[in-house]
Structure 1
Amino acid sequence: LSQLEGVTIEMYGETVLPQVLEQVVNCKDTIAQQYLMECVIQVFPLEYHVATLKPYLEHAGYLSVGADVKALLICLMERLSQWTPPEDEPEEDNVFALLSAQVSATIQKEEGGMELLHVLQLHKALLNFALGVYPAKLEYADHVMGTCAQLVGKVTEGGAALEPRCATLLLELVSVPLEKYADILDVLQLPRWPEALARLTLDKQRQVAGTLVERVLQKGVKITEVAQADMLLTQVRPLLVDDPSEDKDEDDAKVEFDSDTVEELSPVACLMQIFYNDETDAMCRILNTAHRHATAVASPRSIFTLVPLAFACLGLVRKIKLRVDAGEEVEVGCLKLLTFVGHMVESLKQ
């Protein structure tokens, strides 16, 4: 059928696909159903699938119980990832909305609950589709992250550990934005990304957070707004907190870091150098945000942010002095900032 001349998109939608879907559903053979539905995905043009997505998804829900609808959806999303949406595509009932709704319906429909591994496979495919087709729609990727965090949270409620394959898949899923976004700062606009990251063990969280820090430093970006600094430091928080599973000697006031920890945290110290704003008061607010994050964790690891933060403040004092000498009004003066640095030094001594 796909090779016949004259099979227009209208004919496909009105005549060809309805009859094919009807025969597929009525055959009741699960292997044949899945094979034929996959054939439809592969042999007809992308535009045909987009135009007839609703009936295809609807009939996928009518397949026999043994048919692997999950595999069909993943295959469909991978195929549609090559599609470019028109500029005038409506927000409601667009391709992402339809696929997202079908993923949710498929998960809810499975009797006894779908295995978490399969749930994550579906959402990874949906995330790859969203980032490939709608890279500017950050809310789509954020929606997938939030949904995954919620679903994984139900499984791990009460402290249950993730099955290794699920943990690996979740690690891959939260790493996708770091690999796909050309502008690494787009990751900072995914407020639910840290929720999904938090479902991993701390060592895996640190692995992903370390990759984020590395990408930010490689790109040479500048963090110029408080909101950006706040989100970045929220996302790299796993690098700043202590591992609760590690034994600590409360009587030992001297903290020593091994070479692996120093290597892990040194890039975090470099983050203080990418915070920049020409307006000194705005810069003070950014540095205050960094200080708030560093002190909130109450960990010896905070030394890797507090020390470079103190030097950043001292470098800002000269700029403030120049503004004051020029007769400009400042919200944060030299004395106030130096007092702030003094408090940091005292906390470092303790």
Structure 2
Amino acid sequence: MLLIGAEDEEKWLAEGIAGIQHNAFYLHRALDSNNLRDALKYSAQMLSELRTSKLSPQKYYELYMRAFDELRILEMFFKDESKHGVSVVDLYELVQHAGNILPRLYLLCTVGSVYIKSKEAPAKELLQDLVEMCHGVQHPIRGLFLRSYLAQISRDRLLDIGSDYEGCHGACDSFILFGHPELKTSIPISGLQGPGRVREKQEKERSALQELVFPDEYHLQTLEMLLAAFPQVQPTVDIKTVLSRLMDRLSKYAASSADVLTEFLQVEAFTKLSNAIEKVIEVQVDMPVIGAITLYVSLLTFTLRVHPDRLDYVDQVLGACVKKLSSIPKLEDSRATKQVVALLSAPLEKYNDTVTALTLSNYPRVMDHLDNGTNKVMAMVEVLFELIKGLIKDLDGATDELDEEDFKDEQNSVAKLIHMLYNNEPEEMLKIICIVWKHTMAGGPKRLPFTVPSLVFSALQLVRQLQGQEGDIVGEEVPATPKKIFQILSQMIEALSAVLSPELALRLYLQCAEAANGCDLEYVAYEFFTQAFVLYEEEIANSKAQVTAIHLIIGALQRMNVFSVENRDILTHKTTGYSARLLKKPDQCRAVYACSHLFWVDGQDGIRDGERFDLKTYPDLA
């Protein structure tokens, strides 16, 4: 089996569309002249283009829609017997003489729709006849679209229980349940077969077919019938995926136009979906809690898209989730916890307003059911930073300019909030730091100078708590260690230096170096000093800022006792060299004088050598 390329597909699609347009031209001429014979001839030739097996479901759909539009025009012609002079009964027999099965069945479905509406034969029998004949097409894609066409042209004959077509419902149920044998032939449900690339292609086709079974309008109008069947399915069926995808498709369909949204209000889609989910969860007693919460997340997403103004609906979904969570002793599944966080985050993302979210009475009740340990803390931090995301990053579409003083007050408040986050368990505190960093790293050049320092000092506090611990980093789930925290700190400060805050970043590098000194991690401390030197050389150009930076480096280096003689000599001479090259002579003298103390440190026997500091080494000072 050859795998076709995108360019070949585009070529074949263009050829198919050209064939449909060519025959549609002559079809329109036949319809204008009321020539039934030519109309059937050119419509059959046009429909023969749908016999192709070379297109993917998406490309085939484009071809199908071209033919569909022409068939709707042909249907109007069939309805008007005064134009073609043939009764619908005879017409139903006549189209069955078309040569190829696929064009014949499309024409048969088109005339059959007119036949059902004429009431000249029992509607149920006609529909059963069409369903049985459509089984003659076994190709998965061609058969699927043929049945979709039958469903589309028959939908207004099937849906009204009190209508003249009530007898169609039995046949309609049969069609829905048994009308898709092609899904079991070429693309087996139990497992895909063939070489790896072929299986991959089959998997993609099957996924595409799942999206193209019926039109969204049909789903909406038959929603009550469809949802009534869900509680009756076997427990082994992945009903949460089916319902979640249905709600996702319907919510996107609702956003397509105001008229469609009105239809959703008329059919009370939210109420029907909510009731169906409640019944499914009630019937499937063994459904994992993550499955139930996933359904509520999907229902909440649907509600926020379709009924954003109905806060009572949103609160109702949260309340239903509370009811489910109350039935279990403890929420221990981490995946379920993530779904609860997603449930709590959705209203915040939609309304972008903390006050609105807090008006939902069931919002805090959902949070109360999170695990009392780690997961609850993590989820609370996630939700907290979703609440204040307008303070920690620029929101899409935001154009209001904030007063500079107000902006500083806001960011200082965020920094204070970061300092307030604390957990006694080092591993959990490290997770909190990582969550906060994830949220604040998008703050940009204006916000990071406020948020990064507070986060760095929170991490340094944790380092001091762990001081003396050793261990290498293996994976993400290892206990918190100073080495691991220092790696994260390096990333934080690097992000700060990238937003043109080199002086602040240098100060933080020196703070981290002193913390590494306390943990007896010489190579880590040396690396932080190296990063500080790089910033000094490449980013700090202002003479006053250089003087300040030099004295900070000298002070930090004087307090270090972790370095070997060799490493300390390298850092000391580098610092003294920077001091001797300052712009102004007085600044040079003061800085080099301060460096002299680096060669004689009380309490450190290895650093008491006054002979090694020689002004002749620095001729600029002579």
Partner of 1:202: 377
Q: Kindly state the Cα deviation for residue 10 of structure 1 after the two structures are TM-superposed.
A: 1.1
For structure 1, the residue ranges without an aligned partner over 5 or more in a row are 222-237, 248-257, 264-350
Q: 1:259 to 1:240 in 2, by over 3 A?
A: closer
Q: Kindly state the Cα deviation for residue 126 of structure 1 after the two structures are TM-superposed.
A: 0.8
Per-residue CA deviations over 1:269-316 (Å, capped at 9, x if unaligned) read xxxxxxxxxxxxxxxxxxxxxxxxxxxxxxxxxxxxxxxxxxxxxxxx
Distance 2:152 2:249 in 1: 23
Q: Kindly state the Cα deviation for residue 197 of structure 1 after the two structures are TM-superposed.
A: 2.4
Q: Kindly state the Cα deviation for residue 162 of structure 1 after the two structures are TM-superposed.
A: 2.0
Partner of 1:23: 178
Distance 1:186 1:262 in 2: 33
Q: Which of 282, 301, 305 lines up with 1:132 in the alignment? A: 305
1:81 match: secondary structure: helix
Q: Which of 331, 335, 338 lines up with 1:165 in the alignment? A: 335
Partner of 1:78: 248
Q: Kindly state the Cα deviation for residue 105 of structure 1 after the two structures are TM-superposed.
A: 0.7
Asked if structure 1 preserves the Cα contact closer than 8 Å seen for 2:348 and 2:387, the reply is yes
Asked if structure 2 preserves the Cα contact closer than 8 Å seen for 1:117 and 1:165, the reply is yes
Asked if structure 2 preserves the Cα contact closer than 8 Å seen for 1:128 and 1:176, the reply is yes
The TM-score normalised by the length of structure 1 is 0.53
Q: Kindly state the Cα deviation for residue 213 of structure 1 after the two structures are TM-superposed.
A: 2.1
Per-residue CA deviations over 1:156-213 (Å, capped at 9, x if unaligned) read x3xx352111112211221112222355543233221122123331232122112202
The amino acid that maps onto 2:385 is G
Distance 2:365 2:279 in 1: 23
Partner of 1:142: 315
The amino acid that maps onto 2:279 is A
Q: Kindly state the Cα deviation for residue 106 of structure 1 after the two structures are TM-superposed.
A: 0.7
1:7 is aligned to 2:130: no
Per-residue CA deviations over 1:238-273 (Å, capped at 9, x if unaligned) read 9999878579xxxxxxxxxx944998xxxxxxxxxx
The amino acid that maps onto 2:289 is L
Q: Kindly state the Cα deviation for residue 109 of structure 1 after the two structures are TM-superposed.
A: 0.6
1:162 match: secondary structure: coil
Partner of 1:100: 274
1:136 match: secondary structure: coil
| 1:162-241 equivalent positions in 2, closer than 5 A | 162-181=332-351, 185-200=355-370, 201-215=376-390
Q: 1:77 to 1:42 in 2, by over 3 A?
A: farther
Distance 2:327 2:361 in 1: 20
Q: Kindly state the Cα deviation for residue 65 of structure 1 after the two structures are TM-superposed.
A: 4.1
Q: 1:65 to 1:244 in 2, by over 3 A?
A: closer
| 1:16-95 equivalent positions in 2, closer than 5 A | 17-23=172-178, 42-84=212-254, 85-87=260-262, 94-95=268-269
Superposition CA RMSD, Å: 4.1
Q: Kindly state the Cα deviation for residue 103 of structure 1 after the two structures are TM-superposed.
A: 0.7
Distance 2:325 2:231 in 1: 24
Distance 2:174 2:222 in 1: 13
Distance 1:24 1:104 in 2: 29
| 1:312-323 equivalent positions in 2, closer than 5 A | none
Of 48-57 and 176-185, the range deviating more from structure 2: 176-185
1:7 match: secondary structure: helix
Distance 1:148 1:141 in 2: 11
Q: Kindly state the Cα deviation for residue 23 of structure 1 after the two structures are TM-superposed.
A: 3.1
Distance 2:384 2:352 in 1: 17
Bigger CA radius of gyration: 2
Asked if structure 2 preserves the Cα contact closer than 8 Å seen for 1:42 and 1:79, the reply is no
Q: Which of 284, 288, 307 lines up with 1:110 in the alignment? A: 284
Distance 2:210 2:157 in 1: 15
Asked if structure 2 preserves the Cα contact closer than 8 Å seen for 1:70 and 1:106, the reply is no
Distance 1:130 1:8 in 2: 30
Asked if structure 2 preserves the Cα contact closer than 8 Å seen for 1:121 and 1:169, the reply is yes
Asked if structure 1 preserves the Cα contact closer than 8 Å seen for 2:341 and 2:379, the reply is yes
Q: Kindly state the Cα deviation for residue 70 of structure 1 after the two structures are TM-superposed.
A: 2.2
Distance 1:62 1:109 in 2: 8
Q: Which of 137, 145, 151 lines up with 2:324 in the alignment? A: 151
Q: How many residues matched?
A: 227
Distance 2:238 2:331 in 1: 27
Distance 1:149 1:241 in 2: 29
The TM-score normalised by the length of structure 2 is 0.32
Distance 2:457 2:321 in 1: 32
Distance 1:163 1:244 in 2: 21
Aligned identity (percent) is 24
